[in-house]
Amino acid sequence: MYVPKSPFVLGMEITTQCNLNCPHCVADADSRGKKIPYDKAISVIDEAERIGVKDLVLGGGEVLLYDEFFNLCEYALIKGLNVTFSSNGLLIPKEIDSISRLKKHNRMLRVGISLDGPTPKIHSYFRPEDTFEAAIRAISLLQNEDINVHVLCVLNKKNIKIIPDFLEFLLKLNVLDMRLLPLMPFGRGKLHREEMLSPAEFYYILQEKNKWINEFKINIGSNMPWEFLFYPLDKRHPHPCVAGYLRFWINSDGNMFPCAYMSDIPLGNIYTDSISDVWLNSPIMRNLRDPSLLKGACSTCAYRADCRGGCRGLAQFLEGDYLCADPYCPIANQKLLK
């Protein structure tokens, strides 16, 4: 499989400051937070542009609390990068004019709004209840400005039972793009491992997903590398976990990671290393790209070369080794059950 010379997508956690304090937050964000200094963030964008990164994902925390946020976005857009950021929606009304002004650069600008269900009660499983209305208002304001908006939904034990209702609700809001994000055992999510979906709950979502896409005409994004196993044989196009292959992640300390879900495996730091050098030469990145090193069920799996073991973050956190099989993979699970 071809390994690109640099990541296509670069994620940068510019701040862990947040106006909320959600119990499941993978960034462990709070009111104080940390941030990547503006000048350093600019130099990261410079290198990203130079090495061919196409998409910049700005994450937090709540990115709208970052003082120079719009200057940073503008700089990236001028450099020719597409920019995506996510928000809980609370500050969108205050910043909508500044967001709208970013459109003039004619690059792709996408905003993800966190919304976990079609009612305040369901939405508030992890989040404060009053953020429901804020999220709805934010979506509407962004749509009025013709900004590409998608919904980010963290799956939980409650909302997985009403996904069709949620999709119907999103359709009424004219939201045509949603991402399903499983609760991951990272950041404060580590304290809520019991809230992670079981493999069976996961499989239910993936089995139903295509039916829902056809029924509601909403693009439903989820990205488990072994999702292809839920497609008919002739429609299976396995692709590997994006860690080490397509994406790269920088946290607010400047540490570099294969992805946001591998936050206990730092590969380097933006204050001392170049992204390009780490991408090409980090021994961990090389290991991630070598399917022959995969262990357990993956070591004999027919899909090993293309799937490369599923989510490397889940393997690391749940199995203690990023070269183990993703414990949520149906094939690995079957073997474990035996």
Give contact residues for other proteins (rule: CB under 8 A): 1-2, 4-5, 8, 52, 54-55, 82, 223, 237, 239, 242, 245-246
Least separation in angstroms between CB 82 and other proteins: 8
| H-assigned helices in the chain | 38-51, 69-78, 92-101, 120-123, 131-144, 163-172, 199-216, 275-281, 283-288, 304-307, 312-314, 330-337
Smallest separation, CB 52 to other proteins (Å): 5
Name, in order, each residue with C-beta under 8 angstroms of 57's C-beta and a sequence gap of 6 or more.
Answer: 9, 10, 11, 12, 84, 85
Nearer to other proteins, 138 or 285 (CB): 285
Cβ-proximal residues to 139 (8 Å cutoff; 6+ apart), any chain: 89, 113, 115, 149, 151, 173, 175
Tell me whether residue 9 or residue 138 sits nearer to other proteins (CB atom): 9
CB of 274 to other proteins, least distance (A): 18
Shortest Cβ distance from residue 232 to other proteins (Å)? 12
Query: 80 vs 164, which CB is nearer to other proteins?
Result: 80
Q: What is the DSSP string of 169-194?
A: HHHHTT--EEEEEE--SSGGGGGGGG
Nearer to other proteins, 207 or 223 (CB): 223
| Identity of the residue, 92 or 180, whose beta carbon is nearer to other proteins in the bound complex | 180
Taking the complex as a whole, the smallest distance from the CB of residue 30 to other proteins amounts, in Å, to: 31
Report the chain's C-alpha Rg in angstroms.
Answer: 19
